Structure 1
Amino acid sequence: MERSTTVALLYPGDRAMRDRADPRESRFVTLFDAFESAGITAEPAVYHDDFADEVAAQLRRVDGVLVWHNPIESGRRRDRLDTMLKEVAQRGVFVSSHPDAVLRLGTKDVLLDVRELPFGSDTVRVDSLDQLAAQLPGRLRAGARVLKQHRGCSGVGVWRVEAIRDSVQLRVRHAQRGSEEEVIGMPGLLQRMTPYFETTNGGHTIDQAWQPRLVEGMVRAYLIGDRVGGFGHQAVNALYPGQDGKSAPPAGPRLYYPADLPQFQYLRRMLETQWVELLRQRVGLPREHLPLLWDCDFMFGEPTPEEPERYVLCEINVSSVSPFPPSAVGPVVSAMAEALKDAGRR
């Protein structure tokens, strides 16, 4: 009897969730159903460091694994998980996203890597608090900046900083949900930035120029390998500024659209024909390590005569891309089937 192809969907949870192993209580019901329809067995691989060895044994017997796990989950880093994923990948299990892809694409360092590419922007690496204190005031004279910790999620460690005219005070806002704008001095800013310069947090930050057109929203392109699988548009995001002296509005929902949405076809064309390849080459990522599901957040850039439509990369999400447009489900399943076939696992 021919062995069926099996994939695991790995996501964080507790002991009780792992014991139940119920796809219906996960975020990925539609994916489980789509794999079943494609003749591929999909099983939950609920993960926690406390039972990592048990998960590792499970992954060694499957053909492929799709991973959803943030850089920090419930206060824990994913170091042990990454070691485990590398080990099972070396045994021939197809892993996406591979930890090497996460490190090359999924940290804020990618903004420095691409600053000279068509979707890049004015970006600087800051290696110490002293460097930040010495150089940031000069950059603020040209406009607001956004300081970003090396690696994070959900807006944590992302700060908009703006100089106040004829004052040494700064207007500062954290992108973490629920944060309010503050007016503080440089010492206060340095105090808030101190944790991001610790070695365990990457030892540096990234300083990116503020994009004034953020008030027009942010576009998220969902990619399956090098193909666009859908879009998300968020009209009001976490750093949306207040208007006319009023407080900034809370972040709004992200609305999801299929890949053929007319208003983003220029972005889709550039990603599929040029930008993904430019990005892959710039960060040194082998084509076979492009994630099966990842996304790029773009801000609207200032148009030029040569580029009437311009997009500026804000960040790339690789570790835990969810939710995603329904239009991406079928392409993800097809891409996994093709990857397993190429790897001789199907």
Structure 2
Amino acid sequence: MNTDRVRKIAILWRGDHNTRATATPENSRLHRVFSALADMNVAAEPAVYSDEMVSEVREQLLQVDGVLVWVDPISDGHDRSRLDPLLREIASKGIWVSAHPDIILKMGVKDVLFRTRTLGWGTDTDLYGTMEDFRKRFPLRLASGAIRVIKQNRGNGGNGVWSVQLASGRSVLPEADAIVRVEHAWRDGMAETMLLGDFIDRCQIYLSGSGRLIDQPFLSRLPEGTIRCYMVHDRLVGFSHQFSQGLLPAYAKAEGSAPGKVMYGPAEPRFQVLRTKMESDWVPAMQRLLDIDTLSLPAIWDADFLLGPKTESGDDTYILCEINVSSVFPFPDEAVGKIAEAAVSGIQGR
């Protein structure tokens, strides 16, 4: 890379023609990242994307050294089916892309919960790749009467996440006409009862093409919230403790709303055990299992943990419920400079 010239990075997010025409570093929600890059003598420019502007965005990205991407996998009826091939093409030209679509497919989809289930953050996790497999084996998972949580492979904000439980309790082998209670986590969906066979049919959309479904046990400590670890490459840069209404038991919803999200820096004392596990054990193990080198890890990503059963000594355990890679925002103040440093390292290592 020629270090005598000013390095250029595009920061890409989704928008329309008007947003692209009026976007500036100052009016972007990512203005602090733009500013941090400028402090490192990097020229960062907005790259507003839509499927209707692929050619225009391609021409822009071919002129930069790197691209930082903030685009959800599913948003307002849009997906990344046209964006990801564009980013792969750009990366093939030697331009650094974070997060690269191939890295997202390794760690930013729900089947990472199945692939890494043997790590210390794992639990009793199953995976279904076809409707036939789902129809045959999922009823057996419900037979104990416990609540199971079904998750589509690519989604965000609770979209395609369902809790399912037999209405009658235990059953040796639930049939298609068994009654189940289901609840959609997306937008705090209301609980409903329906036939098990109808619910299975409803999930067909999640298994179309290369789709998959992940199956995990419901964790009873969900009302205590989720601990989010914010990561830049393999280093933890902050936490948040957040509460969601999706899939909460009725008693917890009746108790009133909890704070939506509280941010913490990486030194927050309550979460230092989790930090050590992430940096020293779980992330390195994930990298080995998924074959991801450190500089290929996203410039910003997060891992969401639910509280598992306490140990005999009363310590918390942590169960991974999701990794977010595509569009992590907001993030702690401490992450901003580290994201800029990661971007510079990325374009220097091309």
In structure 1, stretches of 5+ residues that fail to align are: none
Q: Give the one of 321, 324, 335 matched to 1:314.
A: 321
Q: Which amino acid counterpart does residue 140 of structure 2 have in structure 1?
A: G
In the alignment, does 2:346 pair up with 1:329?
no
* Cα separation, 2, equivalents of 1:145 and 1:291: 30
Q: Give the one of 131, 134, 139 matched to 1:132.
A: 134
Matched position secondary structure for 1:291: coil
Matched with 1:175 is 185
Matched with 2:93 is 91
Q: Give the one of 227, 230, 238 matched to 2:246.
A: 238
In the alignment, does 2:23 pair up with 1:21?
yes
Matched with 2:194 is 184
Matched with 1:225 is 233
Q: Give the one of 53, 67, 70 matched to 1:65.
A: 67
* Cα separation, 2, equivalents of 1:248 and 1:42: 46
* Cα separation, 2, equivalents of 1:252 and 1:170: 31
Following superposition, the deviation at residue 285 of structure 1 comes to: 2.1
* Cα separation, 2, equivalents of 1:42 and 1:92: 18
Q: Is the 8 A contact 1:240 1:249 kept in 2?
A: no
Distance 1:247 1:134, change over 3 A: farther
Q: Is the 8 A contact 2:88 2:100 kept in 1?
A: yes
Q: Is the 8 A contact 1:215 1:235 kept in 2?
A: yes
- In terms of mean alpha carbon deviation, does 214-223 or 285-294 score higher? 285-294
Alpha-carbon RMSD:
2.2
Matched with 1:280 is 287
Following superposition, the deviation at residue 249 of structure 1 comes to: 5.8
In the alignment, does 2:153 pair up with 1:150?
yes
* Cα separation, 2, equivalents of 1:203 and 1:236: 26
Matched position secondary structure for 2:221: helix
* Cα separation, 2, equivalents of 1:111 and 1:95: 24
Matched with 1:213 is 221
Matched with 1:160 is 163
Matched position secondary structure for 2:250: coil
Q: Give the one of 196, 199, 216 matched to 2:206.
A: 196
Matched with 1:264 is 271
* Cα separation, 1, equivalents of 2:76 and 2:45: 23
* Cα separation, 1, equivalents of 2:169 and 2:320: 32
Following superposition, the deviation at residue 250 of structure 1 comes to: 6.3
- In terms of mean alpha carbon deviation, does 211-220 or 31-40 score higher? 31-40
1:27-82 Cα deviation digits (max 9, x unpaired)? 21111122122222111000011111111111111111100111123323212211
Matched position secondary structure for 2:239: strand
Following superposition, the deviation at residue 100 of structure 1 comes to: 0.8
* Cα separation, 2, equivalents of 1:328 and 1:302: 30
* Cα separation, 2, equivalents of 1:257 and 1:203: 35
* Cα separation, 2, equivalents of 1:268 and 1:126: 31
Q: Give the one of 121, 124, 129 matched to 1:122.
A: 124
Matched position secondary structure for 1:23: coil
Following superposition, the deviation at residue 6 of structure 1 comes to: 1.3
* Cα separation, 1, equivalents of 2:125 and 2:310: 19
Q: Is the 8 A contact 1:242 1:249 kept in 2?
A: no
In the alignment, does 2:45 pair up with 1:43?
yes
Following superposition, the deviation at residue 188 of structure 1 comes to: 3.0
Q: Give the one of 236, 259, 262 matched to 1:255.
A: 262
- In terms of mean alpha carbon deviation, does 59-68 or 176-185 score higher? 176-185
Following superposition, the deviation at residue 307 of structure 1 comes to: 8.9
Q: Is the 8 A contact 2:188 2:247 kept in 1?
A: no
Q: Which amino acid counterpart does residue 210 of structure 1 have in structure 2?
A: F
**Aligned positions, number:** 340
Following superposition, the deviation at residue 220 of structure 1 comes to: 0.7
1:316-340 Cα deviation digits (max 9, x unpaired)? 0111111111121111112222222
